[in-house]
Amino acid sequence: MTTPASYSAPGAPARKTNVISIVALVVSIVGFTVIGIVLGFIGLNQVKKTGEAGRGLAIAAIIIGFVELALLIIYIIVVVVIVGASAASGNY
């Protein structure tokens, strides 16, 4: 006598990750800060509406984008100050 094979319920389907959130993170890491920030907010909004996964990716893209933007602004200010100081001192 053989025992019948036990049947188990199939696993829950994997949640789909929001593509815009993934793209936003990649774009922010590559250095296109403003595009990454905008796509991050779009992806975050879509995740809220659809319930897809990817909320953390969208938030990370927004944070990385703003940090890169702040560093870029600081860099530009430093360069302008250095150029202005050297021009004012007369050393070319």
pLDDT in tens, 43-72: 999 999 999 999 999 999 999 999 999 999
For 68-86, write each residue's pLDDT tens digit.
999 999 999 999 999 998 8
pTM: 0.78
Mean pLDDT for all residues in the chain: 90
When pLDDT is cut at 50, 70 and 90, the band that residue 10 belongs to is confident
Residue 16 neighbours by CB under 8 Å, 6+ apart = 52, 53
Kindly report the number of other CB atoms within 10 A of residue 49's CB atom.
Answer: 8
pLDDT at residue 11 is higher than 80: no
